[in-house]
Amino acid sequence: MEARRDVAEKRLLPAEGYGFKILEQLIYYRILRGITKKI
């Protein structure tokens, strides 16, 4: 997973890569919250 992420970031511009990271974290956080709510 980490290697794929590094390759994807290198393809993007730094600003786009940073924005994508934030978006990815938000999605991941929402998924975690959804899982915790179900439990």
Give the pLDDT score at 24. Answer: 86
Task: Tally Cβ neighbours within 10 Å of residue 33.
Answer: 10
Q: What range defines the domain where residue 21 resides?
A: 2-38
Residue 4 corresponds to which tokens in the numbers above? 């794929």
- Contact status, residue 30 vs residue 38, Cβ threshold 8 Å: no
Give the pLDDT score at 6. Answer: 67
Give the pLDDT score at 37. Answer: 80
User: What single-letter DSSP state applies at residue 1?
Assistant: -
Give the pLDDT score at 20. Answer: 75
Total number of domains in the chain: 1
Residue 32 has pLDDT above 80, yes or no: yes
Give the pLDDT score at 12. Answer: 58
* Measured distance CA(28)–CA(30) in Å, rounded: 5
Q: What is the pLDDT of residues 8-29, one digit of tens each?
A: 656 655 666 677 788 888 999 9
Angle at 11 between CA 15 and CA 2, to 5 degrees: 95
12, 37, 39: which is closest to 23 by C-alpha?
12
Give the pLDDT score at 30. Answer: 92
